[in-house]
């Protein structure tokens, strides 16, 4: 297991920064280092979903206690944030926390969502001195809930991601872009200009290509 470090609260980074970093280190730096944020249809839909999920106080369903918008933090990982939902399942006369994260889209080919969810579990483990074996991701596009086991590999990936985000923020340098298919749906595409910076293209030709791609997507 990677070496652990302890952080002061003034140095904490957000749980969401791990998801941003796994998706794209440059996007993570633009949001969390340069404080740039632009909303598009995808982020707006995700925000509205979270607002609906986060509404309401503690409730019960089929004997399971459901807590919404639970504040989390970890001095070991230097993280803070909010869990969408934590279910409390009864196990051996004890309440076992089970974090559930809501996402607007569908399951992805990378582990960004799983790592963000695992980070929530690691925060809960540190706060409550319990072991949390699994959680779940609910995807709005598929209306499907996917269980996520927190095995040693995912835990190590999460710890490493937290360290890399801290290194990125502490270093204060925004990485160069790595253009790819993911760029098309990034809300910071125009601010990032990946093709311009990575390939030295002119801003005019980049904007022309961007306009052409957006037109094709609209059909």
Considering the domain architecture, whether residues 59 and 146 belong to the same structural domain is answered as: yes
The pTM of the full predicted model, rounded to 2 decimals, is 0.79
Segment 43-66 shows an average pLDDT of 67
Residue 3 CA to residue 188 CA, distance in Å, equals 33
Question: Which residues are CB-neighbours of 201 under 8 A, at least 6 positions away?
Answer: 195
pLDDT in tens, 172-193: 999 998 888 888 878 888 888 8
Whether 107 is in a domain gets the answer: yes
Considering the domain architecture, whether residues 151 and 202 belong to the same structural domain is answered as: no
- When divided into structural domains, the chain yields a total of 2
Residue 39's domain comprises 9-175
Top-confidence residue, 56 or 123 = 123
Closest C-alpha to 186, from 24, 19, 51: 24
Considering the domain architecture, whether residues 80 and 169 belong to the same structural domain is answered as: yes
pLDDT in tens, 24-46: 999 999 999 999 977 655 555 55
Segment 54-72 shows an average pLDDT of 83
Considering the domain architecture, whether residues 128 and 218 belong to the same structural domain is answered as: no
Considering the domain architecture, whether residues 89 and 180 belong to the same structural domain is answered as: no
DSSP code of residue 109? S
Whether 2 is in a domain gets the answer: no
Whether 3 is in a domain gets the answer: no
pLDDT in tens, 126-143: 999 999 999 999 998 899
Instruction: Report how far apart, in Å, the C-alpha atoms of 125 and of each of 12, 20, 113, 122 are.
Output: 17, 23, 19, 5
Backbone angles phi, psi at 208, to 5 degrees: -65, -45
């Amino acid at each position: 297991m990677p070496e652990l470090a302890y952080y002061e609260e003034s140095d904490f980074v957000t749980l969401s920064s791990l998801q941003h970093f796994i998706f794209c280190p440059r996007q993570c730096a633009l949001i969390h280092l340069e404080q740039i944020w632009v909303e598009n249809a995808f982020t707006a839909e995700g925000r509205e979903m979270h607002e609906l999920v986060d509404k309401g106080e503690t409730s019960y369903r089929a004997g399971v206690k459901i807590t919404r918008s639970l504040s989390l933090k970890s001095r070991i990982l230097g993280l803070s944030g909010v869990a969408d939902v934590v279910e409390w399942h009864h196990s051996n006369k004890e309440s076992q926390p089970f974090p559930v994260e809501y996402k607007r889209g569908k399951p992805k080919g990378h582990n960004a969502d799983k790592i963000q969810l695992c980070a929530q579990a690691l925060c809960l483990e540190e706060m409550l001195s319990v072991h949390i074996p699994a959680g779940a991701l609910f995807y709005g596009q598929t209306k499907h809930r996917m269980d996520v086991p927190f095995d040693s590999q995912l835990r190590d990936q999460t710890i490493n991601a937290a360290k890399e985000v801290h290194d990125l923020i502490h270093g204060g340098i925004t990485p160069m872009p790595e253009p790819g298919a993911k760029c098309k749906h990034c809300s910071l595409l125009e601010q990032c200009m990946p093709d311009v910076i990575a390939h030295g293209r002119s801003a005019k030709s980049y904007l022309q290509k961007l306009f052409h791609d957006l037109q094709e997507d609209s059909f």
